[in-house]
Structure 1
């Protein structure tokens, strides 16, 4: 199974020059746990619910007084639509991330989350079983 088969294409974004108040509104209105930070439409980083809460607690400032650029993380982990889901799951585990933007070249085309992968576990297990059966059938004895 490839990432394109389970990613969400309705990616919620926020401009790098916005405040955390704007980002929090986007998170809450869309019911998502992260927004992709963009500049001129190009993805630069990611901002999570936890990042917003931590910034409010640590600074003691209102969200409207904190810029997204102060808090967002640069995109260190991305994937492509054609990447195998197992590969992305391993990358997420290795990097300790729960959300991975999906890029087609430089274009943001989706996002895949740990939740997306968990919901597909039965299908992924079935796919792995089928692959193993073929491998055993064609293995030299």
Structure 2
């Protein structure tokens, strides 16, 4: 199964020049746990709820006084729509990330999350079992 089957195309973004107050409004308004930080539409980083809370606690400043660029993480991992779900799941585990932007060339076309993969796991396991059965049937004896 490819990432395109699981990814959400409704990616919530925030401009790199925004404040955490604006980013948190986007998080809460969309009911998501992270926003992709963009500059002129190009993804630069990711800001999670935890990042926003940590920045507020560490600085002791109001959210409106903290720049998104100071709290967000640079994008360490991206994927493509045609990447196998198993491959991106392994990459997420190896890199310790739960959300991965999906890029088609330079265009951000979606996001895939650990939750997306977990919800689809039974179908993925079923397909893997079917493939293994066919492989065993056709293997030389």
TM-score normalised to structure 1 length: 0.98
Deviation for aligned residue 1:131: 1.1
SS of the residue corresponding to residue 79 of structure 2 reads coil
> Structure 2 CA distance, aligned partners of 1:94 and 1:134?
30
SS of the residue corresponding to residue 108 of structure 2 reads strand
> Structure 2 CA distance, aligned partners of 1:54 and 1:140?
57
Partner of 2:60: 60
> Structure 2 CA distance, aligned partners of 1:39 and 1:103?
15
Partner of 1:71: 71
Partner of 2:49: 49
Q: How do 1:1-141 residues align onto structure 2 when only pairs under 5 Å count? A: 1-141=1-141
Deviation for aligned residue 1:139: 1.3
Deviation for aligned residue 1:138: 1.7
Q: How many residues align?
A: 141
TM-score normalised to structure 2 length: 0.98
> Structure 2 CA distance, aligned partners of 1:96 and 1:138?
37
Off by >4 Å, runs of 4+ in structure 1? none
Structure 2, gaps ≥5 residues long: none
Structure 1, gaps ≥5 residues long: none
* 1:34-62: CA deviation from partner (whole Å, max 9, x where unpaired): 00000001111110000000000000000
